[in-house]
Amino acid sequence: MKALYPGSFDPLTNGHLDLIKRASRLFGEIIVAVISNPSKTPTFSLDRRVEHITEATKEINGVEIITFDGLTVKCAEKHKVDVILRGLRAMSDFEYELQIAHTNRSLDSAFETVFLATEAHHSFLSSSVVKEVARFQGETKHMVPEIVAKDLKRVFN
């Protein structure tokens, strides 16, 4: 079974990495799809985000990293996945993620969305929180993989 895990991953957090590890065990293959979102100004380029994920997942079996723009269901169709994976940190995420899942099903009913809850100790993490901590020179080593922590220091110092 193959899963698609779409997101901006700007930056990749330990919560994202936890989901990738767990999903690789559950599904065997996981495609991490890094989205290019023209409505946002990313901290890291698309290529750099791919490098972060590649480095952080190099010891996890069954991980493929791609980039895409456009609709998630089109990406899922192209890569012949079985499910779309979405992470949940808190109840507040559920409403938004459920809306996205319903939208995706309305566009193509062939795809199911599977929600995975993050480990409790990662539930506070979001890319926005990590960037805010880094912006004010706070420590991010416990929030992100080492390669990302180094890049955050470089960008925000």
DSSP 123: T
Active-site annotation holder among 52, 86, 89, 122? 89
| End-to-end Cα distance, the chain | 43
Active-site annotation holder among 40, 74, 121, 135? 40
Active-site annotation holder among 24, 49, 52, 127? 127
* 52 in active site: no
Beta strand residue intervals within 70-110, DSSP E? 83-88
**DSSP β-bridge partners for residue 117:** 88
* 40 in active site: yes
Active-site annotation holder among 16, 49, 52, 86? 16
Tokens coding 14: 């330990």
Query: Catalytic residue positions?
Result: 16, 40, 89, 127
